[in-house]
Structure 1
Amino acid sequence: MNSQPLIDQLTQLLTQGNAHVTFEESIKGLPAEQRGLKPHKMPYSIWQLVEHIRIAQWDILKFSEGPDHQSPKWPDEYWPEADSPSSEAAWKHSLQQIQADKQAFIQLLQARKAQLLEPFAYGNGQNLFREALLIADHTSYHTGQIILMRRLLGSW
């Protein structure tokens, strides 16, 4: 089976908005002072969503790379306690890590395209195709929340 067309579609799903705004577009131009705000009755800030996206994507990448990965404890270690990043550098690091891990996952797709649908030898039947969809779905869901929060904060 030639899986390259499927790999190309998964790559587009991970990197382009298609039917929705990308993660990168959702945070572009976000005022620094709004990163840690929690709009009325919202349980988290945009910073907490960004960090949650970073942690979850990293976890999925590392899980997909092999059986030696130990996932963070759910849910405590998937969400930062602090409402705001500790510094501008922390914000930038999180954004850079999201991009780097996304690119690493895309490289993994290319490297293992012959095993795209083959269940991992570990886990509960997961495969690389499922993990790609999981990253895209999870990031898209929280990107929508970021946009909603920006609208509530008046910056969208």
Structure 2
Amino acid sequence: MASIKSTPDTIDSAVRNQLIALLTGSNAHQPFEEAIHGLPAALRGIKPQKLPYSIWQLVDHIRIAQWDILEFSRNPAHQSPPWPSGYWSKEVAPINDQDWQQAVDQVRQDREAFLALINDPKRDLYEPFAHGDGQNLLREALLIADHTAYHVGEIIIIRRLLNAWPS
């Protein structure tokens, strides 16, 4: 069997492909879309006893954090919201189905925009941004994946507590 020589281009391509798979797949975790699929609207704003957030608050937090990371990655003038108040909805439930759908759609759209950054061969995955304190595109991709997977797990736990997760 012939071996393929690793070159900087093949390594870069492999890393980009793995990042895309991490952000869109479900190797070691459920994807965002699966965690919210089939969730009854009436359960979006329930905050189970002793838990700090509802599913709505988690979905909106994922949306805000991912948007912030995307904007930080592509716009040196971006100003992040204040922590923690700017990252968490005070509302336990979405006002209506439209607010829910807008949040879900923005999670998907911003993920696609971030994937476009990863797919852009002119963007160096490893070069620190001129702004910030050493962050690079690779780090931000891993941050989105890690953060989203963590909160997707919380969404699934809440769904299990509410008897709204398939066995």
TM-score bucket of the superposed structures, by smaller chain: over 0.9
Cα shift readout 1:87-117 (whole Å, capped 9, x = no counterpart): 1000000000000000000001111555110
When structure 1 is superposed on structure 2, of 10-19 and 106-115 the one drifting more is: 106-115
> Which amino acid counterpart does residue 27 of structure 2 have in structure 1?
N
1:29 aligns with 2:62: no
When structure 1 is superposed on structure 2, of 3-12 and 128-137 the one drifting more is: 3-12
Q: 2:54 corresponds to which residue?
A: 45
Q: 1:91 corresponds to which residue?
A: 100
Q: 2:25 corresponds to which residue?
A: 16
Structure 1 Cα separation of the partners of residues 122 and 17 of structure 2: 10
Residues 72 and 13 from structure 1, CA distance in 2 versus in 1: closer, same or farther, beyond 3 angstroms? Answer: same
Q: Which runs of 5+ in 1 are unaligned?
A: none
How much has 1:19 moved relative to structure 2?
1.4
**Residue correspondence of structure 1 range 69-88 to structure 2 within 5 A:** 69-88=78-97
Provide runs of 4+ in structure 1 moved above 6 Å: none
SS in 1 for 2:115: helix
How much has 1:40 moved relative to structure 2?
1.1
- Is contact 1:47–1:83 with CA below 8 Å preserved after alignment? yes
Q: 1:152 corresponds to which residue?
A: 161
Q: 1:103 corresponds to which residue?
A: 112
Structure 2 Cα separation of the partners of residues 125 and 75 of structure 1: 22
SS in 2 for 1:115: coil
> TM-score, normalised to structure 2's length?
0.91
Cα shift readout 1:68-87 (whole Å, capped 9, x = no counterpart): 10000000010001000011
1:62 aligns with 2:71: yes
When the two chains are superposed, the root-mean-square deviation of aligned CA atoms in Å is: 0.9
> Which amino acid counterpart does residue 48 of structure 1 have in structure 2?
Q
Q: 1:4 corresponds to which residue?
A: 13
Structure 1 Cα separation of the partners of residues 31 and 128 of structure 2: 29
How much has 1:66 moved relative to structure 2?
2.2
> TM-score, normalised to structure 1's length?
0.98
Q: 1:126 corresponds to which residue?
A: 135
Cα shift readout 1:26-72 (whole Å, capped 9, x = no counterpart): 00000100000001111110000000000000000000002110000
User: In percent, how many aligned pairs have the same letter?
Assistant: 56
Structure 2 Cα separation of the partners of residues 7 and 28 of structure 1: 28
**Alignment: residue pair count:** 156
Q: 2:125 corresponds to which residue?
A: 116
